[in-house]
Structure 1
């Protein structure tokens, strides 16, 4: 007969199977085991059939009867119940595979946001892990709070209803990137003061201004992240809060410095002026009182209202005049040109567009 204390298989099996094998090995009936442990024959039978859980107390009793440590029985039971739970979860995930088609999974894989999996269930797990949720019902609970905000202007746009999943991916990536930025506690006064320094970055290349912008804002408690626009999202920027930490997410959607910097200062306006409970998403066509106020904040912060008004009165919108005015107010000429085009003083198709800096994502 083998040493009973060496009965320690390293594979996962239902506790009842192991128990049944031991009873056969010891030529012991279920009724006898019930008598030796002080348990009922019904309970022993249910443990063998997997209908009843093997409790820590029963594990200790089996240790006395068979000489197999209680830890072994407890681990066997724990692994078995986890296996059953995993199987149930797998079955539930298979019923949700259609949800994969609603998300830009190929884009996420291409950019390294999730791993590529040939098995659709595994790919679904990757997507859920990206969002930090256990199921799509949980996803709807978490992200429904974002997309169902009655105050949010983006709910009024044509872009929003058909692209909420893609937008959610973009926002989530921004949140994840923001976690990697070590920010000081948010200081409203310091952030507002930092905007003066940030204005001086508008004529620099991304390789130069991105690290500076990130560091300046982090010192004031604001996380600024750049996330490529997800397919169909059409979003240029967003403001959200992670607890007490404000986050600005920028996409480079319009690929020029006038749009990028206007979007940044627009988002800064949301942080300084509006509720921490609202996520603000920027589309071309979303306008309400919040957006108008943020637009005004961005416009006047980038180009002082009085200076701009005086410049407009001169009606000299030649290239050298724009450059000279930009130098006077310490802003990039492209930002001035963008403002003039927005206000209808200069058409958008113009040779003056060379004053703008163009941005693109590196491979």
Structure 2
């Protein structure tokens, strides 16, 4: 079943009234119309009067055999009677499930629920238990215990980052959004060599200032080689700048939060995550925050080095540093020569202390979630 078809079924199933008629009420209505007693129905169906009474009260289920008898005796179709029964039993089960969920509604306080609603990730519904149901469905888990195993515990492994462990629910909500977005993408199978070649094409995209132009190209280039690229705002409490996750043996996810805002940070985050995919296998998820080393400092340094040297070749950078005075125009000319954004060159120089943090920042492009660009 495709995700599109599944979403359609989910939409059709969204109507869940607080009440549903007992199937026996429909039987009783027909008996009244025809002037029949319960004893009359018992005689016509070969049921006992006790069983008929249980059917009318909803205490006895309408089985396939019963549905066929009702079809012959009262009319309509067996499918009609079975559907009434299924709807009724689902309603009872749903009410019991909501009662059970109501005992764990404190979980909602852990989630960045207001942002999840604002970003359109989950629906805002009445009642805490029903909201629990919506959030569990968003995460694709049956209960809070399953959520803690699938999402909270992996994030809690990042003990090196106080930021990540402070509000793991916010981080997991953001990461889950990436997983769900990837489900709707048409991805090829992962191809390492093709991905490395695609990175050279993506590197050229850094010179494009408009996200409306470079974002679809970035997504398409990566989708062809089995990698879903998802750009989503981070909810409150989620300090992550980027993430890498293997969705399967042949599909991967690179997720960016645009938390850094400027082009140098966005593109460095992307190539940093690409470095994780190429260098660190399929063992785990990588969650990266600005200014922290993550779970494995050595692997983070390797990903940093990969991004740094792919964006600006070491030989080119060495030639730039050979100049005694590096000015704004020199940075522009150098960036044009090596075919990357000037902001990326400036960010590198600032990070390594060759230029002050307040100098030449007009070279950087600042992104907004409205897909507009502005000078910093």
In which range does the TM-score fall when normalised by the shorter chain? 0.7 to 0.9
Out of 286, 309, 325, the residue aligned to residue 316 of structure 1 is 325
Q: 1:354 to 1:242 in 2, by over 3 A?
A: same
* 1:77 partnered with 2:90: no
* 1:274 partnered with 2:280: yes
Shift, 1:285, TM fit: 1.2
1:257-272 alignment runs, 5 A limit: 257-272=263-278
Out of 213, 220, 236, the residue aligned to residue 218 of structure 2 is 213
Bigger-Rg structure (1/2): 1
Superposition RMSD in Å: 3.1
Following the alignment from structure 2 to structure 1, what is the Cα–Cα distance between the partners of residues 239 and 27?
A: 60
Shift, 1:296, TM fit: 1.0
Out of 223, 235, 240, the residue aligned to residue 228 of structure 2 is 223
Q: 1:250 to 1:57 in 2, by over 3 A?
A: same
Out of 180, 187, 206, the residue aligned to residue 176 of structure 1 is 180
Q: 1:78 to 1:209 in 2, by over 3 A?
A: closer
Q: Unaligned 5+ residue runs, structure 1?
A: 1-10
SS at match of 1:115: coil
State which drifts further: 191-200 or 93-102: 93-102
State the Cα deviation string for residues 148-194 of structure 1 (Å, max 9, x = none): 5x5xxx44200112221111221122223333433332221111011
Contact 2:244 2:286 (8 Å CA) reproduced: yes
Following the alignment from structure 1 to structure 2, what is the Cα–Cα distance between the partners of residues 76 and 225?
A: 42
TM-score (norm 1): 0.82
* 1:298 partnered with 2:307: yes
Contact 2:44 2:73 (8 Å CA) reproduced: no
Shift, 1:85, TM fit: 0.7
Shift, 1:286, TM fit: 2.5
State the Cα deviation string for residues 184-226 of structure 1 (Å, max 9, x = none): 3222111101111211222321232212222222233322121
SS at match of 1:337: helix
Residue of structure 2 equivalent to 1:248: 254
SS at match of 1:351: coil
Shift, 1:88, TM fit: 0.8
Residue of structure 2 equivalent to 1:286: 293
1:161-200 alignment runs, 5 A limit: 161-200=165-204
1:73-152 alignment runs, 5 A limit: 73-144=81-152, 146-147=154-155
Q: 1:46 to 1:195 in 2, by over 3 A?
A: same
SS at match of 1:156: coil
State which drifts further: 198-207 or 120-129: 120-129
Shift, 1:282, TM fit: 0.8
Shift, 1:356, TM fit: 1.6
Contact 1:23 1:29 (8 Å CA) reproduced: no
State the Cα deviation string for residues 238-258 of structure 1 (Å, max 9, x = none): 111222221211111111111
State the Cα deviation string for residues 272-314 of structure 1 (Å, max 9, x = none): 1223241111112124222111111111111112322343344
State which drifts further: 92-101 or 44-53: 44-53
Shift, 1:130, TM fit: 2.5
Shift, 1:237, TM fit: 0.7
Following the alignment from structure 1 to structure 2, what is the Cα–Cα distance between the partners of residues 27 and 181?
A: 59
Q: Across the two proteins, how many residue pairs are aligned to each other?
A: 346
Q: 1:12 to 1:166 in 2, by over 3 A?
A: closer
Contact 2:260 2:266 (8 Å CA) reproduced: yes
Contact 1:200 1:330 (8 Å CA) reproduced: yes
Shift, 1:342, TM fit: 1.8
Contact 1:167 1:235 (8 Å CA) reproduced: yes
Q: Unaligned 5+ residue runs, structure 2?
A: 1-18, 372-376
Out of 329, 335, 341, the residue aligned to residue 332 of structure 1 is 341
Shift, 1:90, TM fit: 2.2
Following the alignment from structure 1 to structure 2, what is the Cα–Cα distance between the partners of residues 28 and 51?
A: 15
State which drifts further: 246-255 or 176-185: 176-185
